[in-house]
């Protein structure tokens, strides 16, 4: 049995590449936030408390547009609706009788990336893993936002370009090993790549925000695979 401290350390280690990717993305978010009238401290606080990429971008732009608070709430709910799906998936792994504190703690660390690495670990999701990853990654997100607001475009474009793929490298490292082990996951991953590429070029769908496109494709493709290749009780016991 791993100690909670070890689990936290593992989360922290796995959170480092996420943090590098966050830094690069947050840096460009910071440049946008500067344009929308946010100062470095405001950007830092917004990022460390919200830690949601597309949702925050929309939030910043709404502030600049003098949107009503109710509009902010509605659009925040829509752009972050995928977190509900991720929360359901994580709670599905927790047996009846799991404390509310543990459920809330696991839910609190959800970001696209931290969810991805948390769910990829076998067994009951540990809040210590999520907080380890959060501690490595989210301060980088907040720092990137702040530095983006202060320096504008001062960081060399080449560095930003290289750092911005760290996050995708991490996603690949999460999905490929299970895809190699379970052929249906492999097929689902290949189909997801293809449909996602197609959707980014289709007339209507490509106009949607990338967050909404992600939800739509996730729902459709996962439902299709649940129908074509449902899990048996035996599969679930092995998992």
Q: State the Cα–Cα distance between residues 50 and 44, nearest whole angstrom.
A: 10
- Contact track, other proteins, 164-183, x by CB under 8 A: xxxxxxxxxxxxxxxxx---
Q: At CA 71, angle to CA 68 and CA 76, rounded to 5? A: 130
Q: State the Cα–Cα distance between residues 99 and 206, nearest whole angstrom.
A: 41
Shortest approach of other proteins to residue 31 CB, angstroms? 15
* 3-class SS of residue 179: helix
The verdict on 188 binding other proteins (CB under 8 A) reads yes
The verdict on 72 binding other proteins (CB under 8 A) reads yes
Q: How many residues does the chain have?
A: 239
Q: Which is nearer to other proteins, 147 or 188 (CB)?
A: 188
The verdict on 209 binding other proteins (CB under 8 A) reads no
Pick one of 150, 154, 202, 223: the residue that binds other proteins (CB under 8 A).
223
Shortest approach of other proteins to residue 14 CB, angstroms? 5
The verdict on 69 binding other proteins (CB under 8 A) reads yes
Residue 49 contacts residue 169 (beta carbons within 8 Å) = no
**Contacts of other proteins in 107-126 (CB under 8 A):** 107-108, 110, 112, 115-117, 119-120
Shortest approach of other proteins to residue 60 CB, angstroms? 9
**Contacts of other proteins in 122-151 (CB under 8 A):** none
DSSP state string for 19-84: HHHHHHHHHHHHHHHHHTT--HHHHHHHHHHH--HHHHHHHHHHHHTT--HHHHHHHHHHHTTHHH
Q: Which is nearer to other proteins, 152 or 178 (CB)?
A: 178
Residue 114 contacts residue 133 (beta carbons within 8 Å) = yes
**Segment contacting other proteins by CB under 8 A, of 1-9, 93-101, 138-146, 147-155:** 93-101
The verdict on 104 binding other proteins (CB under 8 A) reads yes
The verdict on 202 binding other proteins (CB under 8 A) reads no
Pick one of 7, 11, 34, 80: the residue that binds other proteins (CB under 8 A).
80
The verdict on 227 binding other proteins (CB under 8 A) reads yes
Q: And the tokens for 199? A: 């959707």
The verdict on 31 binding other proteins (CB under 8 A) reads no
The verdict on 161 binding other proteins (CB under 8 A) reads yes
Give the number of other CB atoms < 10 A from CB of residue 132: 25
Please identify which residue in the block is written with the tokens 């703690």: 105
């Amino acid at each position: 049995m791993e100690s909670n401290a070890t689990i936290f350390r593992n989360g922290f280690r796995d959170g480092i590449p996420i943090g590098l990717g966050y830094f690069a993305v947050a840096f460009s978010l910071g440049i946008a936030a500067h344009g929308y009238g946010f100062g470095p401290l405001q950007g830092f606080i917004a990022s460390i408390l919200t830690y949601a990429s597309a949702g925050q971008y929309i939030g910043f732009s709404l502030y600049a547009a003098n949107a009503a608070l109710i509009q902010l709430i509605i659009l925040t709910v829509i752009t972050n609706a995928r977190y509900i799906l991720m929360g359901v998936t994580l709670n599905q792994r927790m047996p009846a009788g799991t404390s509310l504190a543990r459920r809330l703690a696991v839910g609190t660390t959800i970001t696209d990336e931290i969810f991805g690495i948390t769910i990829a670990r076998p067994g009951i999701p540990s809040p210590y893993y999520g907080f380890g990853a959060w501690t490595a990654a989210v301060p980088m997100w907040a720092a990137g936002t702040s530095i983006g607001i202060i320096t504008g475009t001062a960081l060399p474009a080449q560095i930003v370009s290289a750092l911005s793929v760290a996050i995708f490298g991490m996603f690949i490292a999460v999905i490929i090993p299970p895809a190699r082990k379970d052929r249906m996951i492999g097929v689902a991953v290949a189909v997801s790549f293809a449909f996602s590429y197609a959707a980014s070029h289709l007339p209507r769908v490509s106009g949607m925000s990338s967050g909404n496109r992600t939800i739509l494709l996730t729902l459709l493709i996962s439902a299709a695979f649940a129908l074509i290749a449902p899990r048996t009780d035996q599969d679930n016991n092995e998992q």
